[in-house]
Amino acid sequence: MDQSKLDTELAEALLDFPVLDIWDDIPAVRAHVDEIADAIQLNQGTSDGVSTSDHLIPGPEGAPWVSVRVYRPKDGGASLPALLWMHGGGYVLGSLQGDDYLVRCLVEQVRCIVVSVDYRLAPEHPFPGPLEDCYAALLWLAGHADALGVDPTRLAIGGLSAGGGLAAGLAILARDRATVKIMFQMLLCPMIDDRNITASSHAVMDPRLWNRESNKRGWAAYLGDLYGTKSIPACAAVSRAENLNDLPPAYIPVGSLDLFLDENIKYANGLNKASVPADLQVFPGGFHAFEFVVPTARVSKLAMTMHYEKLRAAFGL
Residue 161 annotated to the active site: yes
- Given the residues 258, 262, 300, 307, the one annotated as active site: 258
Extended beta strands in the chain, E state: 50-57, 66-73, 80-86, 113-118, 150-160, 184-188, 250-255, 278-283
| Closest alpha carbon to 311 in 151, 110, 131 | 110
The Cα–Cα gap between 287 and 211 comes to 10
Residue 272: exposed, middle, or buried by beta-carbon count in 10 A (0-12, 13-18, 19+)? middle
The Cα–Cα gap between 143 and 91 comes to 27
CA 284 to chain centroid: 20
Enter the DSSP assignment of 237: S
* CB hemisphere CA count around 74 (13 angstroms): 6
Mapped onto helix, strand or coil, the DSSP state of residue 78 is coil
The Cα–Cα gap between 81 and 225 comes to 38
- Given the residues 161, 200, 201, 300, the one annotated as active site: 161
Residue 258 annotated to the active site: yes
Mapped onto helix, strand or coil, the DSSP state of residue 136 is helix
Mapped onto helix, strand or coil, the DSSP state of residue 41 is helix
The Cα–Cα gap between 221 and 90 comes to 9
CA distances from 274 to 13, 164, 168, 171 (A): 39, 20, 15, 14
The Cα–Cα gap between 171 and 298 comes to 32
Residue 32 annotated to the active site: no
Could you give the residue numbers annotated as active site? 161, 258, 288
